[in-house]
Amino acid sequence: MQQVEIGAAERQRVTARLADVLPVGALLTEPRALKPYESDGLTAIREVPWLVALPESESQVRAVLAICREHGVPVVPRGAGTGLSGGARPRADGVLLGLARMNRILEIDLDNCVARVEPGVRNLAISQAAGEHGLYYAPDPSSQIACSIGGNVAENAGGVHCLKYGLTVHNVVGLRVLTIEGETLELGGKGLDAPGYDLLALMTGSEGMLGVVTEVTVRLLPVPPEKRVVLAAFGEVAAAAAAVGAIIAEGLIPAGLEMMDRLAIQAAEAFVQAGYPRGAAAILLCELDGVGAEVDAALAQVRRILIGQGAFSIRVAVDAAEQAKLWLGRKAAFPAVGRLAPDYYCMDGTIPRARLAEVLAHITALEAEFGLAVANVFHAGDGNLHPLILYDANRPGELERAEAMGARILAQCVAVGGTVTGEHGVGLEKLDSMCGQFSPAELDQMHRVKHAFDPAGLLNPGKAVPTLVRCAELGGMHVHGGVLPFANLPRF
Amino acid sequence: MPPDADIADYLQDAVAGAAARGGALCISGSGSKAFLAAGHATGPQAAGGQLLSTTEHTGIIDYRPEELVLTARAGTSLAHIEATLGAAGQRLPFEPPRFRGGGTLGGAVACGLSGPGRPWFGALRDAVLGVELINGLGERLRFGGQVMKNVAGYDLARLQAGAFGTLGLLLSVSLKVLPRPQSERTLVFELDPATAVARCRAWARQPYPLTGACHADGVLRVRLAGAPAAVDEAAAALGGDGAAAPGYWDALRDHALDWFRSGGCLWRLSVPPAADPAGMDCLINWAGAERWWSAPSGDDATARMLTRVAQAGGHARRFDATYGIQQPTGPAATYVRRLKAAFDPARVLNPHLSPADAY
């Protein structure tokens, strides 16, 4: 969407009307106050918004949307601003609609095992509130201490436990959504389904482009009484990848199954001393949870598989403290890698697990081609790969080189039957890569869905789905449809 | 094993041809759920289109057990898919019904029905990873993929689940599959409905390996599944009054229990699981969340039940020829109509099951 030119008089009118419907201090207009909102977690893409509105209730959200609709002002919704794809990057001609102040837990319903919360409630706060009843909210993106549930819904956020417990879409049972046209949609509820088209699933992961979430009902699960954490080290990445396939082929669904490569291991060790074997080409971190008898049986099975697949070192954490230590290296992997270079660029492709060794070899070749190092952190259980490209933004051209390399990695993920984003979203960052994953007709279908909810194109315009013009200008990147490599691969 | 056949080009020509001449198509699979999809019997939305069957578009395109993903053409029978999965020790997590033994993958996704394990293993829509479809413009489109985590673009794959083929003719579907549990046991409790629901809700807060909980005619049956030791431990903790007949869960799943032969008008109620069951006279499935009711004829019991379900925050749907056309009411109805128009502006695909025109 083109930037909208707004005259000074119109600007004053809109500002005054917004100030009227918001509490004191909930409309930010001064440059210094606006500045912190110029980006989300993807700080390379920035734009200071015209205004920031921080409503405290659904009726205030409705009023803000109505004013923006009447004046044709673009609205960019934002949760906690921890997103990694620029999905909440504001516009200089628009209102940033921050929902962080709507942060009340409305209800913990123990009989129905659900929590009803406002969108600004932090992900971890739900589990903390449910914890005294032995319940928790399963999806745990790594930003869970800060990220909001509304943002989780917008991005269909994942985490390290998705293979067993699913993504946000599998754990949300109800939403209240305001459309830009002023309608209130009540999707789902405390039951498990509702008649007709699954608007609840459609809204989840729609990156704030179809509606603004004002209330979320999530299902709560009993906290697993026991867990075991195993660390296995391998001399070759391919062996570690094979071990992942073997664990799943034997019928085990671990709660978490993570892989790190040599550079990521070394960075983590240097940073937090988790006790990872430094000589390893790859490590696997496997968490099993459930009741005691179940996890012990699974643990024995996993050990046998790991030995069979050639692990040269296997360590089972003896207590909760050691479990936390083993996880610490993984959870600190991103900041640890951040110490190796001034900047890193985090990718988020997903691939069929069987293609892992091949994709990692491709990334190694790209490292040589682009002259940039990559550390790989991998949600191995569900095939979600996070290559971290190391670069220095102060060196001319290096950011551009990192971005070009990232686009090549994502194109390779698509070529082997995967996707350009597993859990971070498209936002602004991966618009070009979307041209490689989807045909013009597919993108056009998505635009028509957007139009069905937002005919004027005012809600988070320009994100998630590239225009056909943009893709045409890139030219020739569309990978599937029998045009480029692996044309005979069944892939969607 | 049935032969594999790819008739996607033929199906695409059929849709494009119908769109070009302003015609309409009634899409069918094996017909096992046709009793839910007669749709509008009269008026401009009545069936009258040309029948287009997907049953010859068959075959498992890709299945690697260690990836937990299966991709098959829409006309592939559920029986073939389940046999293939079974041979590798896996299964469809959402346990779709196989009415009279039939059913295709496309039909299962279009109808969106899930079986007894739904609260624990997820619904059919939860297992949908990707689809290839033909929209009403005759375009072949792919959404989602063959991987577990995928947030590229709107989730137009899951949207097809339960859409009764009104947004696209499904060509193929990729599903997440799961290992078959190592062991399974059914416990039986003689309880009244209110106590049964209360028990189920209390158990839901405990980490028991439950995978089914259904109450009917004064008996609550509970399915435990998982590692043998975990099943033993839970069975000892929960107790019970005896053993269930073998095949109970399959019969429940396929509506082959005697309970479903009572003859009244059958309703499916989706409610908050703890909703008070007193006096509802339902078969209570999904630990309370799904209830089946056979409406007595000749009095205002139905109106009373609908009020009750609405007050509980649930939804009631007649499980008959109108099931496929039921859509949300209120403001959502506008967007439902526009979504239909976004996929199929000329109303080529199953117009008899489609929401009314947009705008």
Distance CA A50, CA B239 (A): 64
Alpha helices (runs of H) in A132-235, residue ranges in sequence order: 149-155, 162-165, 168-171, 199-203
Question: b/e string for B149-179 if b means 16 or more Cβ within 10 A?
Answer: bbbbbbbbbbbbbbbbbbbbbbbbbbbbbbb
For A43-52, how does the pLDDT look when each residue is reduced to its tens digit (9 = 90+)? 989 999 999 9
Residue B3 is given by DSSP the state P
pLDDT digits (tens, 9 = 90+) for B101-133: 999 999 999 999 999 999 999 999 999 999 999
Two tokens, residue B42: 């009269």
pLDDT of residue B358 exceeding 90: no
Q: In the predicted model, what is the mean pLDDT of chain B?
A: 94
Write down the pLDDT at residue A480. Answer: 45
Q: Say what the pLDDT of residue B42 is.
A: 58
Instruction: Tell me the nearest-neighbour CA distance from A279 into chain B, angstroms.
Output: 28
Integer Cα distance of A65 and A460 in angstroms: 12
Pair A355, A417: CB distance under 8 Å = yes
Largest CA distance in chain A: 74
In this complex, do A191 and B326 lie within 8 Å of one another by their Cβ atoms? no
Contacts of A379 in chain B (CB under 8 A): 149
8 Å CB contact of A491 and B146: yes
Q: Which pLDDT band, with edges at 50, 70 and 90, does B71 fall under?
A: very high
At A150-205, the pLDDT tens digits run: 999 999 999 889 999 999 999 999 999 999 999 999 999 999 999 999 999 999 99
On chain B, the residues whose CB falls within 8 A of the CB of A424 are 151
Size of interface A-B (CB pairs under 8 A): 296
Q: Where are the alpha helices (DSSP H) in A204-355?
A: 237-249, 262-272, 292-308, 320-331, 333-338
Asked if B130 and A492 come within 8 Å (Cβ–Cβ), the reply is yes
Identity of residue B64? R
The helix/strand/coil state of A273 is coil
- Beta bridge partners of residue B269, listed in sequence order: B291, B316
In contact, A255 and A224? CB cutoff 8 Å:
yes
pLDDT, mean of residues A417-425: 95
Least confident of A125-129, B136-140, B295-299, B348-352: B295-299
Model confidence band, residue A5 (pLDDT cutoffs 50, 70, 90): confident
Model confidence at B41: pLDDT above 70:
no
Looking at chain A, which residue has its C-alpha nearest residue B118? A192
Lowest mean pLDDT among A309-318, A436-445, B292-301: B292-301
Q: Do A186 and B330 touch (CB under 8 A)?
A: yes
How far away is chain A from the Cα of B263, in angstroms, using its nearest Cα? 24
Please tell me the total number of residues recorded for chain B in this structure: 359
**pLDDT bracket for residue A63 (50, 70, 90):** very high
CATH classification number, A105-222, choose in 3.30.465.10, 3.40.50.150, 1.25.40.10, 2.60.120.620? 3.30.465.10
> Residue B147 and residue A382: Cβ atoms within 8 Å?
yes
Listed residue (B25, B29, B5, B28) closest to B15, CA to CA = B25
Please list every residue in chain A whose beta carbon sits closer than 8 Å to the beta carbon of residue B335. 179, 183, 185, 199, 452-453
Cβ neighbours of residue A89 closer than 8 Å, sequence gap 6 or more: A38, A39, A40, A42, A45, A46, A47, A76, A427, A428
The interaxial angle of helices A292-308 and B228-238, nearest 10 deg, is 180
In this complex, the residue of B64, B148, B328 whose CB is nearest that of residue A196 is B328
pLDDT band at B30; cut points 50, 70, 90: very high
Task: Give B131 to chain A, closest Cα distance, Å.
Answer: 7
Interface confidence, given as ipTM, is 0.97
Asked if B146 and A294 come within 8 Å (Cβ–Cβ), the reply is no
Residue B48: what pLDDT? 67
Instruction: List the single residue in B with minimal CA-CA distance to A211.
Output: B335
C-beta separation of A232 from A283 below 8 A: yes
Mean pLDDT of B284-303: 92
B317–A197 CB contact, under 8 Å: no
Judged by DSSP in three states, A52 sits in strand
Contacts of B203 in chain A (CB under 8 A): none
Name residue B318's beta-bridge partners.
Answer: B267
The pLDDT of A204-219, averaged and rounded, is: 98
B284's enclosing H/E stretch is strand B283-285
Residue A378, amino acid? F
pLDDT band (50, 70, 90) for residue B137: very high
The answer on pLDDT for A214 being more than 60 is yes
The topology under which CATH files domain A8-98 is 3.30.43
Q: What is the 3-state secondary structure (H, E, C) of B118-153?
A: HHHHCCHHHHEEEEEEECCCCCEEEEECCCCCCCCC
The pLDDT, as a whole number, for residue B45 is: 54
Chain B hits for A248, CB-CB cut-off 8 Å, are 66-68
At residue A344, the 3 state secondary structure works out as: strand
CA A358, CA A112: separation in Å to the nearest integer?
A: 46
Q: Report the length, in residues, of chain A.
A: 492
Query: Where are the domains positioned within chain A?
Result: 8-98, 105-222, 226-332, 341-474
Amino acid at B305: M
Task: Calculate ∠ Cα B204-B205-B208, nearest 5°.
Answer: 65
CATH of A226-332, one of 3.30.930.10, 3.30.70.2190, 3.30.70.20, 3.40.1260.10: 3.30.70.2190
Residue in chain A closest to B119 (alpha carbons) equals: A192
Nearest CA in chain A to B272: A191
pLDDT at A491: 30
Between CA A244 and CA B179, with CA A414 as vertex, the angle to 5 degrees is 35
Within 8 A of A198 by CB-CB distance, chain B residues are: 112, 125, 158-159, 161-163
| Topology agreement, domain A8-98 and domain A226-332 | no
Cβ separation A192–B270 shorter than 8 A:
yes
Please indicate whether, in this complex, the C-beta atoms of B148 and A223 are within 8 angstroms of each other. no
B130 to chain A: nearest residue by CA?
A492
Q: Rounded distance, CA A439 to CA B58, Å?
A: 25
Name which of A190, A205, A438 is nearest B272 (Cβ-Cβ).
A190
Sign of the four-CA dihedral B123, B128, B133, B136: positive
* Confidence at A3, pLDDT banded by 50, 70, 90: low
Average pLDDT over residues B14-40: 93
Cβ pair A416, A351 in contact under 8 A? yes
Which alpha helices (H) appear in A371-430, and where do they start and end? 398-415
The CATH number given to A341-474 is: 3.30.70.2740
User: Do A421 and B151 count as a contact with CB atoms less than 8 A apart?
Assistant: yes
| Confidence bin at A278 (pLDDT 50/70/90) | confident
* C-alpha dist (Å) from residue A288 to A297, A305, B93, B182: 10, 14, 20, 16
Give how far A50 is from chain B: nearest CA, Å: 27
- B159/A225 touch (CB, cutoff 8 Å), yes or no: no
Alpha-carbon gap: A91 to the closest alpha carbon of chain B (Å)? 21
Phi and psi (nearest 5°) for A29? -130, -15
Q: Predicted confidence band at A492 (pLDDT cuts at 50, 70, 90)?
A: very low
Residue numbers in B near A384 (CB within 8 A): 147-149
Alpha helix (H) residue ranges in B28-156: 78-87, 105-111, 118-121, 124-127
**CA nearest neighbour of A478 among A447, A446, A438:** A438
DSSP class of residue A148 equals B
Single-letter code of the amino acid located at A385 = L
pLDDT in tens, A439-461: 999 999 999 999 999 999 999 99
Average pLDDT of the segment spanning B133-147: 97
Residue A485: predicted pLDDT: 36
Q: Higher pLDDT residue, B83 or B243?
A: B83
Q: Do A449 and B156 touch (CB under 8 A)?
A: yes
